[in-house]
Amino acid sequence: MLTQSNSNSTPKIISLITGGAGFLGSHLTDYLLAKGHSVIAIDNLVTGSTANISHLVGNPNFKFIKQDITEFIYLDGPVDFVWHFASPASPIDYLELPIQTLKVGSLGTHKALGLAKHKKARILMASTSEIYGDPLVHPQPESYWGNVNTIGPRGCYDEAKRFAEALVMAYHREHQVDTRIVRIFNTYGPRMRLNDGRVVPSFIGSALQDQPVTVYGDGSQTRSFCYVSDLIEGIYRLMMSNTHLPVNIGNPREISMLGFANAIIKAIGSKSSIVYTPLPKDDPKLRQPDITLARQLLNWEPKISLEEGMERTIAFFKNLVEKGAEIPKT
């Protein structure tokens, strides 16, 4: 699997990341470069940003290609690992881009798998906890098949990822492609967009302005937040493991949205109040990963506490605001 570098006899590992300029893709890029990989990042910049990878300009081990991965991917030269992360991932994005979301989950995954097959590379597909839908089982183990509304507003994302998992397994069984599937639970950290629409930047953005923090429903619905460095470590371990079945990666610490909003307000020292608005259609009431498999197969579990992770994330957003970034109105 290792490729010989042209400049010396040291083996060089070539990794391709789709969605490489996104929140997770850019952090994965940094992690792999630190591990000695050469990284090729592909992104059409619909939701990704060159700001996330601007610090890599001039790095001889990094190459960026602006391309939509639903189109044919041509690369001259070997590839050892394909990390398929391309996809809108927040409700504000995939509700605005439902067809593109479905296309990247289907056509994009097909192109990524075809490349992996051609290059004889191992491929990891970034799936999501959203494949469980509004779960009737809690916490959610990988054996749970989910409770998804296929024709609801969130169906474009949920079904894109469910189809992608099915396609990955078909390539594994039919073509013996060496595949991995990670089911990612809520993740946060630096490089999230202020207008991301997800709960972490929304709550922090409002609290930094002393504006009301909007909580859906009565705030009793729960989420489990994993800091980005913990997630990337778990994903790397999964890629290097021997399992081809889906594995949950996330932090099992569960918190209500009301409790989380109050924690953000307190951490920032904000004067924000909390306002309530109706729960969006099909919004999951519960979300908590069962990470038994990750512990057993990968010897992995998260290390960064929510308090420490939020301190780092708040500092990142404060810095953005100080540099003149505009905080979206809620």
Cα distance between residue 31 and residue 110, in whole Å: 26
Helix, strand and coil percent figures for the chain, each rounded to 5: 40, 20, 40
Contact yes or no for 252/290 (Cβ under 8 A): yes
Contact yes or no for 248/226 (Cβ under 8 A): no
Q: Burial of 99 by CB count in 10 Å (0-12 exposed, 13-18 middle, 19+ buried)?
A: exposed
Cα distance between residue 255 and residue 288, in whole Å: 9
Q: Where are the beta strands (DSSP E) in 21-164?
A: 37-43, 62-66, 81-84, 122-128
Q: Burial of 131 by CB count in 10 Å (0-12 exposed, 13-18 middle, 19+ buried)?
A: buried
Catalytic residue (choose from 31, 94, 157, 236): 157
144 is catalytic: no
Cα distance between residue 157 and residue 266, in whole Å: 33
Q: Burial of 150 by CB count in 10 Å (0-12 exposed, 13-18 middle, 19+ buried)?
A: exposed
Cα R_g (the chain), whole angstroms = 19
Cα distance between residue 132 and residue 211, in whole Å: 33
Cα distance between residue 117 and residue 122, in whole Å: 8
Q: Where are the beta strands (DSSP E) in the chain?
A: 3-4, 11-18, 37-43, 62-66, 81-84, 122-128, 179-184, 187-188, 213-216, 222-224, 226-227, 247-249, 254-256, 274-277
The three-class DSSP label of residue 276 is strand
Catalytic residue list: 157
